[in-house]
Amino acid sequence: MTIVRWWETIGYPMGQAEQPAAGTWYPAVDIYETGTEIVLQVEVPGMTREQVNVEVDDGTLHLRGERKIEKDVKEESYHRVERVYGSFHRSFGLPDTVDTDKVRAELKDGMLEIRIGKREQAKPKQIQVGIN
Amino acid sequence: MAIVRWWDPMRDISSIQEKMNQLFEDTLSRSRGREEGLGTGMWTPAVDIYENNDAVVVKAEVPGLTKEQIGIEIKDGLLTLKGERKVEKEVKEENYHRIERAYGTFQRAFSLPATVDQEKISATLKNGVLELVLPKKEQAKKKQINVSVK
């Protein structure tokens, strides 16, 4: 268990643009930017489409979900439980440069990938400057 | 995250937290050869292990890994899970706003109980979870014995 995890479990949010999160666990998120999109990669192993929810509300991206422990396994049958169960909610403030109508999400191999398109004017343009 | 800039009192705490992490990791993992930046050190997938009447079941969280990136080995009653997750090559490091996922290699080993039939172990990878089913030997399965009371 890293300090980050420990810190999060006592209720501190991790990042600058992130609002305090609620829930019992926090999926790890990578965020990167390309010329046309901002991409979030969220680790949600074992979760199905029905168990995760992606919502954009007023410039904020909300990720919610719940992972339930298997019901058919009795607690006393567990030798080891390291995976975390319960609900999570993380939210990220989106910059003005993105077009919130262009949000796509895909779930594959336990990874939720969210791609948010940038507005036309926010994309880098190459401008040729003539030298006199 | 650089794309949104506002003053956040949590930033200082975050940076202290990062430093503490660094300190702990450096101290505890000097032998791992941790690199700077997109550190590709070691990580540990979370594992649940439970047992039912027929088998011992091991479930490991390996989101984003493919079959080819995972190795399972059984030797001398020791079950070893290995793998490697690589950083996406086409994304430049400076384009990352946030990196919380762990990259690099992992290796975990579990000693198998004698009751497990090592020849019959099966593994499946689904939704980022590797599930190993280790069936028990026939004689190890619980049998119902009726004891008559006189």
Task: Look up the CATH number of the domain holding residue B101.
Answer: 2.60.40.790
Nearest to A15 by CA among A25, A6, A4: A4
User: In which domain, by residue range, is B128 found?
Assistant: 41-138
Best residue of B22, B48, B57 to probe chain A, by most A CBs closer than 10 Å? B48
B82 within some domain: yes
How many domains would you assign to chain B? 1
Best residue of A8, A16, A74, A81 to probe chain B, by most B CBs closer than 10 Å? A16
Give the number of A-B residue pairs with CB atoms closer than 8 Å.
133
SS3 at position A102: strand
List of long-range contacts for A69-74, beta carbons under 8 Å, 24+ apart = A73/B50, A73/B52
Burial of B119 (0-12, 13-18, 19+ CB in 10 A): exposed
At A43 the pLDDT is: 97
Query: Which of B4, B46, B66 is opposite residue A82, by nearest beta carbon?
Result: B46
B80 within some domain: yes
At B130 the pLDDT is: 97
At B36 the pLDDT is: 41
Higher pLDDT, A74 or A12: A74
Q: Is B49 on the interface with A (CB under 8 A)?
A: yes
Strand order in the sheet with B78-85: B40-42, B103-111, B78-85, B70-75
Looking at the complex, report in whole angstroms how far the Cα of residue A83 sits from the nearest Cα belonging to chain B: 5
> What average pLDDT does the structure give for chain A?
82
Q: Name residues of chain B where pLDDT drops below 50.
A: 1-2, 4-5, 26-37
Buried-state track B120-133, b at ≥16 Cβ within 10 A, e below 16: ebeeebebbbbbbb
> Which chain A residues are closer than 8 Å to B25 by Cβ?
2
At A121 the pLDDT is: 78
Task: Please tell me the distance from the alpha carbon of residue B143 to that of residue B146, in angstroms, as a whole number.
Answer: 10
Nearest to B55 by CA among B144, B146, B131, B145: B131
At A111 the pLDDT is: 97
> What would the pLDDT profile of A55-89 be if each residue is shown by its tens digit?
998 889 999 999 988 888 888 889 999 999 999 99
Residue A1: pLDDT over 70? no
Query: Which domains can be identified in chain A, with CATH numbers?
Result: 3-70+80-121 (2.60.40.790)
Query: Which of A12, A41, A77 is opposite residue B50, by nearest beta carbon?
Result: A77
Best residue of A25, A29, A33 to probe chain B, by most B CBs closer than 10 Å? A33
B26 within some domain: no
Would you state the structure tokens that stand for residue A31, as one six-digit string? 């965020």
Asked if B102 and A78 come within 8 Å (Cβ–Cβ), the reply is no
DSSP 8-state code for residue B87: P
pTM value is 0.72
Asked if B127 and A45 come within 8 Å (Cβ–Cβ), the reply is yes
At B80 the pLDDT is: 94
Least confidently predicted of A9-13, A14-18, B95-99: A9-13
Q: Is B149 on the interface with A (CB under 8 A)?
A: no
